Structure 1
Amino acid sequence: MFLDDERSNRLRPAILNDLVGNLLNDVERARYLGLPETTRIRERTKIVSPENLFMGEHCWVGENTVLDASGGLEIGDHTSIGLNCLVFTHSSWLANMMLENHSGSDLIERKPVKIGKGCFIGGNSVIMMGVTIGDCATISPLSVVTKDVPAYSLVSGNPARVFQRYDQEYLRGEADRVRAENAARRARAEARGETQVWGAPAASRDDQ
């Protein structure tokens, strides 16, 4: 049943990692994969060539996301990648066109992807090979990123293009707004006798 050749024996550990990883929680999974302890990797995330992945602290990767690090992949601190995302660092397009789509084809093209710190990549987005995403950039859900993304910008669409630029002053203002709203919600919840276990308080009818 099991093949005993070089390719099969090389791929088998990755298959085992996927199986074991599905039994772990998000923090345990990150540690099992040798990623920073502050990183969280959700279920069914697949990492191709994990030895070529560099991931910073306090990152989060959602369910069913594929991180292809075969061409080199760098993800900065405090970056989140949503559900069902695809990050590609290689392409077999030319191998297909030339009818040379065999294992080990020298027509496979690889280019690194760099995702900066403080980025937010919305669910179901695709990042193509060779792309650099600047610090604190936002990728809207369902976007296809085919070229570099400037820092402190929001991009959206297929292909993605810049819709908004922002700066630290804007982000501080938004942070102050959300903290104030959460503090008010927390106070109302405590007045109702509710105990907040962790994280931001959930909205209630009183918050409408």
Structure 2
Amino acid sequence: MIIGEGTWLSPGVVFHTHQEADIRIGCRCDLGPGIEFIVGSHELGSQERRAGKGTARSIVVGDGCWIGAKSVILAGVTIGDGAVVASGAVVTRDVPAHTLVAGVPAVVKRQLP
């Protein structure tokens, strides 16, 4: 777990950590209340038990990002520098630098200056 200098964590931010997967938050980021970072998941299992073998993949947030309240950032995601994640978004794939994403699942809404 690495949190860069000047980064703000609002109350209720939750980091679901795992020994095999890092969470790295860049410098000068602002994280809203109730965000969850989840590095773990499962492979799809058999019909007897659909949650198969456990997996863990790192999450990386670049410098200068703003992640809105109650967002969920899932395993294996990289959020590029200067990106904005709208409140309540569920980020399931990489977010390009300097873009605004929103929705469930999160999609690019626009490029930012």
How many residues end up aligned between the 2 structures?
A: 111
Among 4, 7, 10, which residue is 1:62 paired with?
Answer: 10
Q: Which runs of 5+ in 1 are unaligned?
A: 1-52, 168-208
Superposition TM-score, scaled by structure 1 size = 0.49
Tell me the equivalent position of 1:87. 37
Equivalence map 1:1-208=2 (5 Å): 53-70=1-18, 71-92=21-42, 94=44, 99=49, 107-167=53-113
Superposition TM-score, scaled by structure 2 size = 0.88
Q: CA separation in 1, counterparts of 2:76 and 2:48? A: 22
Q: Which runs of 5+ in 2 are unaligned?
A: none
State the one-letter code of the partner of 1:122: G
Q: What is the aligned-residue identity percentage?
A: 33
Higher-Rg member (1/2): 1
Q: Deviations over 1:131-175 (max 9, x none)?
A: 0000000000010111100000100000111111122xxxxxxxx
Q: Which has the higher contact order (CA 8 A, sep 6+)?
A: 2
When you count helix as a share of all residues, which structure comes out higher? 1
When you count strand as a share of all residues, which structure comes out higher? 2
Instruction: Decide whether the 8 Å contact of 1:114 with 1:131 is kept in 2.
Output: yes
